Structure 1
Amino acid sequence: MIDVSVYPSSWESCSVGEAGEAIVGQQRTPEATHGNGPLPYLRVANVHDDALDLNDLASMRFTEVAKERYRLRDGDILLCEGQSRELVGRAALYRGEPEEIYFQNTVIRFRAHDEILPEFALLVFRAYQYSGIFSGIAKATTNIAHLGLTRFKELPFPIPPRATQEEIVDTARSVQSSIDASLSGLASLISTAMRMPSEMRDLVLLGDRAIGEPQSEDPTLPGKWLTAADIVRSDAPIVYGITQPGPEVTDEGGIPYIRGQDLRDGYIATNALRHTSPAIAEKNARAQLATGDVLLGIIRSLRVAIVPEELDGAHITQGTARIRPGEEIDSSYLAHWMRSDAVQAWFRSRLRGINMPRLNLRDVQILPVPVREITEQVRLARILDVATEGLEQVIADANASAKRLRVLERDAVESCAYGAVAWTITNRIEPNRQRELAQLAMSRIKAASTMEDKSPKPRTRNPSNSVPRKKTTQQSGAEQNQVLAVLSQASGPVTPEDLYRNLELEDSAIDSFFVVLRKLSQEGRISISRPNDSDVHIERIR
């Protein structure tokens, strides 16, 4: 919970629930098939930090009553109610497009009071998410943290005068625009730098010509075209490695072996290599590695790497092909050729299979290779090595700069919301006048909140899959028989959130609630299903 003393002293504060209307969206269930629709809605996957992703919208049906309640308006703020703990409460502002859209119960919608600018409220909620306020109050299940509507509404919310909010928002927008522009420039730089090595390989090694036919004459090439099978050492044909490496050998006698996932773009990740026994390694001696061997991933990745000196004598698995260059081929030259766009496209056109696309060794053996004089190969490889290393450093520096900008963004959001920047802007107005304006805004918010409390609440018919609720004292813990009784009254599957509410449990009972669910599931008395990435359905097994 945030300490309100961090807000400027001339501001007022209230609860989030008083600062605006906060509700969760409509539950997605099999029964949500009546009414008008299907209509698009937002879920957790669509709510990013200060941005809505509208490219992949799900849809469901909404009744006329539900449409009125769950339709978004320009200025509504959406927060992730359920997310990983570090991302729970991630918030974005809906700015009126698309014109008609709704939201699911995995998302909280906050509609600010007239005295509060929506962009200022967004700034506060982003600061809460960045600083760990939201993760601190969230209740976690196995892998998802839930912000909780009640806990969210009870959080304090700062109330500066409207004019102060406007200046804070303008400042924050200016800072954010500069950061966004810098991040966009860095992203473009990284994207270009990542494309350039393969494009340079095509230009340097292939030029304007197409991949030639092995053994054919090519007057434009200062050399000849051979197949990969032709350029390896005669005693080391192209092979893949160990089919069954056996259990991990942890003592010093273990022989390291390289899997497809250990290959990176241009190098081998040596920190996670596994080890097989000397006996298994001996049975597969034909695939033993030597310094300078070129490795190619033949399942999915098609990554290429050169075996360093420290892995001399290691092995590979069946997901990797070994190519040991003969005397007329330089290892680095061959690796650059195999990493070029042209060769990667040549390999991809020969992949077989859908779930586990792979190359056959025959495909690797017939790969055309442009064979130049060995001194020319070395010269070209060195040019590409230097250029590639330089671009890799550019990418590393750009990523480091982007990381620093992200930290600056987090600090700037909190500073503008109620930190140093907010204090500086606030102090430009005489303290008593600032306090009077804040108190006036606060009185209007309180008055609106009081009127809402006294207004009659409309009665709505329970959805077909809900459970009639009884007015009882909230319980401090969940019992198996209570859970089963509530599920027995339901006409269909219910969500954990609805079940929790219908049990009338206190917030502190969340842990015992999930313990009971786990036990009932293990005993086969309830079924817990996940019809999609965001929903969970619980049903009693009759």
Structure 2
Amino acid sequence: MEVPNGWAHVQLKDVLSDPLINGRSVRTREDGFPVLRLTALRPEGVDLAEHKGGAWTAAEAAPFLVTAGDFLLCRGNGSRRLVGRGAMVRSNPISVAFPDTMIRVRVDARLIDSRYLENIWESALVRTQIEKAARTTAGIYKINQAVLEGITLPLPPLDEQRRIVEVLEDHLSRLDVARQSVWTAQRRTKPLLASVLDRTALGSARKCAATSTTTSDSRRMLTDVSSKRFDYEQLPDLPAGWYWRPSADVCASINSGSTPKAHLMHPGSGEIPFLKVYNITQDGRVDFAIKPTYVGRDTHQSQLKRSRVRPGDVLTNIVGPPLGKTAIVPDGHDEWNINQAIVAFRAGDEILPDWLALVLRSPFVLGLLQSTAKATAGQFNIALSTCRELPLPVPPLGEQKELIAGAAQLLEGAERLSSQAARTEARAEHLRQAILQNAFIGQLVPQDPADEPASELLAHIGAERAAQGKPKRARRTAPRAKASTSAGPPAASSTPLPQNAVQQEFEL
């Protein structure tokens, strides 16, 4: 990439004051020396309060202490997008160390402004290099010191770096204010959706009439029904004429899906669309544009016969997190199929599919279902039998239609607001990257011919470093070996060697 006159291309290692250092792995101890959590790396800087106790002494932690101006990077993460992300230590009111999940960067202030590094590190110019170089092991993306040292940076003169940072901070601060307004709107949308769904599903949103009162009679349909998973007696009262019903009583069928062998699934095109959990969106839709997968009609009618679904069936995922994403199968195909992480509810004569979907999205009913989940190796699972015992509020069909129509307007408005917020956030991120791009190709601020060119400054400081000698990389002290009771080589003599003696070396 071309840069203006007076700029230079450098690698990160060229502007360091100290070698990069990996943090140290340390066991947690409640009253131990403070060590940062990975969640301390935030866009606004390192949150020093986000730490835990480590089982090491102050002396052991000393090489890994952070100071104001340090730049800490995420060394490894399950997401390629997050590996290598950095944050600046803006102040240092407490003594805290960094763990082996981080790498510390200290730059030479004579060559590069730390705020300039902080901003360029979040640009696509650097992120592309990091994400391309990240390697995955057991699902964890990692970046090593050698790769980081080789990251290429455009380096303006030092004074121009400071001018760039000043203008950037002005632009980005105003952009951040706008984004904060979007995030606030998104946060308000979620409780609004939850309130609409719960008030509708439990009857508190219906138009009040003289006889519209809640009654304990709403649980009488459960009197002779037993459940090991739900306490039916603790369910709230519903309006008169509404009843709590086990889902198996009001659904024609409730079945979970199945997953065939890999060679029977076809990405991109095929005969029968095969739905997975990621095809169910958080806002209650089926989005088959996400990694579409198909199965053959023979597989659909034989091996996957029990997991066939059709338009109007209501799907809910029972393996997560997250649990309970719910959507109605659309009309795009006559038949679909689903994998083992999804349950299909087919509405019977007493309940409408739209009402069934609305109720399953209700935080109250969803909370009942989620409370039965069992965790295994970080994954939550809900049993199919639990889905069949799940209590559902069922009003008369006429009221179901009225409430669905009333809720649809509110839900559509809330979802439209959420969708607009998401689009605005995407535009804001594109604008942010465009501003950063202009900054680091020399188009954000004018160049000043009086500035000392970066190449001359590099040469000057390089000569100083050569005269001083190359700094040695910090070495990690190996743990002391435990004493062995078995016979072994004789212990080294405790008698000190003469000053000019040469110790003999042996091959390991």
Verify same fold: TM over 0.5.
yes
- Aligned to 1:327, which of 335, 349, 353? 349
CA contact (8 A) 2:308 2:338 kept: yes
1:134 CA displacement: 6.2
Question: What's 2:194 paired with?
Answer: 198
2:71 to 51, 72, 77: 77
Task: Name whichever of 369-378 and 172-181 sits farther off.
Answer: 369-378
> Is the Cα–Cα contact under 8 Å of residues 240 and 318 in structure 1 kept in the other structure?
no
* Aligned-partner residue type, residue 354 of structure 2: S
* 8 Å Cα contact 1:80/1:108 also seen in 2: no
CA contact under 8 A between 1:82 and 1:107: conserved in structure 2?
Answer: no
Checking the alignment, whether the CA contact within 8 Å between 2:257 and 2:306 is kept in structure 1 is: no
- Is 1:268 the counterpart of 2:286 in the alignment? yes
State whether structure 2 residue 417 is matched by structure 1 residue 394: yes
Contact 1:76 1:112 (C-alpha < 8 Å) held by counterparts: no
Which residue of the other structure, out of 148, 162, 180, is the alignment partner of 2:176?
Answer: 180
Q: Deviations over 1:73-126 (max 9, x none)?
A: 212334557788876764432112453234467624123325754323433444
| 1:365 aligned to which of 388, 396, 406 | 388
**Residue among 215, 218, 226 paired with 2:221:** 215
Which residue of structure 1 lines up, in the alignment, with residue 96 of structure 2? Answer: 101
Corresponding residue for residue 486 of structure 1:
none
Matched, 1:231 2:247: no
Instruction: Note the alpha carbon deviations across 1:437-457, whole angstroms, 9 max, x for none.
Output: x36x98887665544433367
Could you tell me which of 291, 295, 304 is aligned with 2:311?
Answer: 291
Q: Distance in 2 between matches of 1:42 and 1:343?
A: 35
Aligned residue for 2:444, secondary structure, equals: helix
Query: Helix, strand or coil for the counterpart of 1:173?
Result: helix
C-alpha contact (below 8 Å) 1:298/1:358 kept by paired residues: yes
Q: CA deviation at 1:307?
A: 2.7
- Sort the Cα spacing of 1:462 and 1:215 in 2 relative to 1 into closer, same or farther, 3 A: closer
Retained in 2: the 8 A contact 1:25–1:103?
no
- The alignment-based identity, stated in percent, is 21
Q: How far apart, in 2, do the equivalents of 1:210 and 1:327 lie?
A: 24
Partner of 2:495: none
Higher helix share: 1
Within 2, Cα distance between the matches of 1:377 and 1:294?
16
* Counterpart AA for 1:405: A
Alpha-carbon distance between aligned partners in 1 of 2:126 and 2:316, rounded to the nearest angstrom: 42
Question: Helix, strand or coil for the counterpart of 1:112?
Answer: coil
Encode CA deviations 1:188-216: one digit per residue, 9 max, x unaligned: 22232234223201112324569952438
Letter in 2 for 1:390: G
Q: Say whether 1:120 aligns with 2:136.
A: no
CA separation of 1:224 and 1:276: change in aligned 2, threshold 3 A: same
Match of 1:248 in 2: 264
2:434 pairs with 1:411: yes
Question: Given the superposition, is the C-alpha separation of residues 210 and 447 from structure 1 closer, same or farther in structure 2, using an over 3 Å criterion?
Answer: farther
C-alpha RMSD over aligned residues: 4.7
Q: 1:21 aligns with which of 17, 37, 49?
A: 17
Displacement after TM superposition at 1:344 (Å): 0.6
Equivalent AA in structure 2 for residue 308 of structure 1: P
Q: Deviations over 1:375-410 (max 9, x none)?
A: 321121122223323322222221121112112212
Deviations 1:39-86 (A, max 9, x none): 52577x75465633653668575885983x543321233455778887
Relative to 1, partners in 2 of residues 1:461 and 1:303: Cα closer, same or farther, differing over 3 Å? Answer: closer
Q: Which runs of 5+ in 2 are unaligned?
A: 205-213, 224-236, 480-507
- Whether contact under 8 Å (1:23, 1:149) holds in the other structure is no
Is contact 1:22–1:149 with CA below 8 Å preserved after alignment?
A: no
Per-residue deviation, residues 246-266 of structure 1 (Å, max 9, x unmatched): 662669996555455554442
Corresponding residue for residue 381 of structure 1: 404
Counterpart position of 1:493:
none
Native 8 Å contact 2:280 2:326 kept in 1: yes
> Residue 442 and residue 374 in structure 1: after superposition, are their counterparts in 2 closer, same or farther (change >3 A)?
same
What is residue 35 of structure 2 aligned with on the other side? 40
TM-aligned CA distance change 1:403 to 1:281, over 3 Å: same
Please name the residue that 2:331 is paired with: 309
SS at match of 1:213: helix
Instruction: Indicate the SS of the match to 1:295.
Output: strand
Cα 1:221/1:453, change in 2 over 3 Å: farther
Q: CA deviation at 1:277?
A: 5.5
Partner of 2:373: 351
SS in 2 for 1:23: coil
Contact 1:240 1:319 (8 Å CA) reproduced: no
1:337 to 342, 352, 359: 359
- The equivalent position to 1:281 in structure 2, one of 284, 290, 301, is 301
* Structure 1 spans left out of the alignment, 5+ residues: 467-541
Equivalent residue, structure 2, for 1:504: none
Secondary structure of the 2:66 match is coil
Alignment of 1:454 with 2:454, yes or no, is: no
